[in-house]
Each structure stands twice: as C-alpha cells, then as structure tokens.
Amino acid sequence: MTTISLAERRLLLFSILTLALSLSAGNAAAKVSGVCGNCHTMHNSQDGAPALHSGVGAGWADDGTFNAGEASTTPAGYLLISDCVGCHSSTSADKTIIQLGDNRIPIVFNTGQYPSKALAGGNFYNVSRGPDFDGYGHNVYGISEHDSKLTTAPGNDRCGTANSCHNTLAVAPSSQNYDRGGCQGCHYNVYHHQDSNVYRFLNSHEEKFGAYVEGVEHASWEYPDDTTSTEHNFYKGVDRNDTGQGGTLELKQTHSISSYCAGCHNTFHSINGIGMDTWLRHPTDIVLPETGEYAQYNPVSNYEVQSPVAWIDPASPQRDEAIVMCLSCHRVHGSEYPDILRWDYSKMIANEAGDEEGNGCFVCHATKD
C-alpha cells in the first residue's frame, strides 16, 4: 500500500483543485478527479497535527512549494484542508500563475507586492495593506478588514443585514450571508465536482432561477497582458436600450457581468440620469457607439485589454454588439489605483493627455486626449 506524506498530500491537493480552474478558452470548468484525501480531511488530523492550513503566511512560494501558514484546530467547511484565499495566494513577489505539471493555479493575492503582470481580475495586494488602501480593491474576508469609511457596498440599497453579502465581503460565513463569506460572496457555488457553464463560478443564491454569469474565458487569465483581438476574456453584455427596460436588469434575465455587479452596486446601474442632457453616472450595458469619438476604437480587430468591452454574444463578437460594462473601467479583485480603476484617473487630462494619449478613458473617448 502506498503511503502519501503530508507534504505530498498538500501538493496533490492544489494540483487537483486547479483542474477546475485550468480552463480552455471556454466557459466550462473541468470537474476535479482524484483521491478524496488529497482535498479533504475527515478529522482535521494527520500525524498528530492539524491538517488544515490557511491564514497569514499561506501561499505558494517561488519554487512551487506551498507555505502552510497557520495551522487550525477548527475543521473547515466541506472538510477541506485549506481555503480559497490560501490556494490562490502567493508569497512570491511576482508570480501570478503557479505551474504544477500540466496544471496551473491563478493567483489573485500576492502577499509581498502588487505583481507587474496581474491577471484579468487584478490583485488583492493593495487592499490588504490596511485602511489607507480600502479603495484599491474589494474588502474580502481572509484578506482585508471591513472598509474603514463605508458601512455598505457603494451604490447598494438592496435588502440585507449588516453582514449580508450585498453589504460586505469582509465577514465570515454565517446565516446572514447564506454561509458564504469572503470569496464565495461572489463565487457563490464553486463547482469543483462537476462541469459548469457558469463563467468563473459567478452565480448567486438565485442560480436555480438562472442567476449566473456567462462568458468565454482566456486560457491564461489574460497573462501576460499583450493580448490580441482573440486572446482575452469575452464577457457577456446586454444592450438595455434594445431590451426596452430602463431599470436595473436582473442577472437571471441577462447573464451579463454588469448585472452581476449590480447585485451589490445596483444604484450605479439605473437608467435614471443617463441621457444627453444630464449625465449623473457613466452608463453600463449600452452599445459602444460606432460614430464620433468612439469610432476609432474597434474592439473586434484592435481589442484593448486596458479598456475591455462585453459582447451580446461572446462567442461571436460583432462591432455593433460591443457593450460598455463595469469592467471597462474597473478591475474586479484589486488594482494599483484608487476606486479599483484600470488606470490613474488623475492623469486623464482632456486635451493635455501627454504620455496618456490613447490610454485609459481616451481609448473610447478618442478625440478628447
């Protein structure tokens, strides 16, 4: 009978977990296979020591070994021997994909610095640094504390208690957030044991009614960021003007990435205040115009990863179906800049763009630099 050491079990655990995350350029996740003990511990005990390791210090090192972090005597949900944050963290300064044989782990939290080539969703490093950096990322349990200035998600007026996932992701799982705190506030059902058509596990407690995100995922999560017209994520969008519905469009209707963001930031998605006379907020889920200042940006042939768009049909992008979305301006996890923006907003100076000519806001607003 073959004996597997604790170190080997840990390595195998994270190799197998990544089978669900090492996707081809499609939106279906491969289900995990292998020995159950590689991912689960029946009693949180191995060789007289706790088998669960997460918390401060957990993450992948430069050489591909896993730094165990703090051992815990409290068993984890689903009998796992680590957590989402531990698996997708790196103690390396710059590694954002951990290669284990043919399997790869996307890193969303580098504990030492913001990486030079963050993956598509950005990186949680800055928001982990404390209250002065709250605006640089989503505050997520296991990475950062509550936002020091905001008591609820900006733009949120939905129902929910103070610890609801609609208000904050910086709390532990409880009955108030469907027992899903932190990462699972967004990645609600992480289908490691089945194939799934849900883009990046982005779904909600109403998934049974069709509340999930669709999209086509880049095989390397947009690393490095020298993308071509086809080498990038393809996000699902919707033209709210075409639907004839002015208010916030429900996720189960649209499956769009912006509708998903509206689950917590819904007042930013209302059609009210969007018009030619009075603009109160930047629009989302509308077609990027093909005329005027926008004509110079054709994302079908010259896609800009710094200013991405969504598509009505991600599998068949058409210029007249390019959709402005939340992620056209923002990262998801975290950014180098305030407000989780993709660029430094303070350097966007109309008619005096200088080195920022053609960048940031000016990718779409091409005549204003």
Tell me if 139 sits within 8 A of 152, measured CB to CB: no
Which of the residue ranges 79-83, 106-110, 177-181 would you say has the lowest mean pLDDT? Answer: 177-181
Residue 94 C-beta-side C-alpha neighbours within 13 Å: 3
Predicted TM-score (pTM) of the model is 0.84
**What pLDDT sits at residue 201?**
87
Residue 134 is predicted with a pLDDT of: 95
Residues 258, 173: Cα–Cα separation, whole Å: 25
The first and second tokens of residue 133, run together, are: 């950096």
pLDDT reading at 246 higher than 60: no
343 in Cβ contact with 369 (< 8 Å): no
pLDDT of residue 18: 41
pLDDT digits (tens, 9 = 90+) for 215-227: 998 988 998 766 6
Worst-scoring range by mean pLDDT, 62-76, 249-263, 322-336? 62-76
More confident residue, 79 or 288: 288
Please name the residue ranges forming H helices in 256-354: 257-261
The 3-class SS string of 74-134 reads CCCHHHECCCHHHHCEECCCCCCEEEECCEEEECCEECCCCCCCCCCCECCCHHHHCHHHH
180 vs 164: CA distance, rounded Å: 9
Q: Which of 204-213, 283-292, 355-364 has the lowest mean pLDDT?
A: 204-213
pLDDT of residue 101: 67
What pLDDT does residue 72 have? 78
Distance (Å, whole) CA 132 – CA 149: 10
DSSP string of 207-257, one letter each residue: GGGT-B--EE--TTTT-SS---SSSS-EEE---HHHHT--SPPPHHHH--H
Look over the chain and give the mean of its residue pLDDT values, rounded to a whole number.
Answer: 81
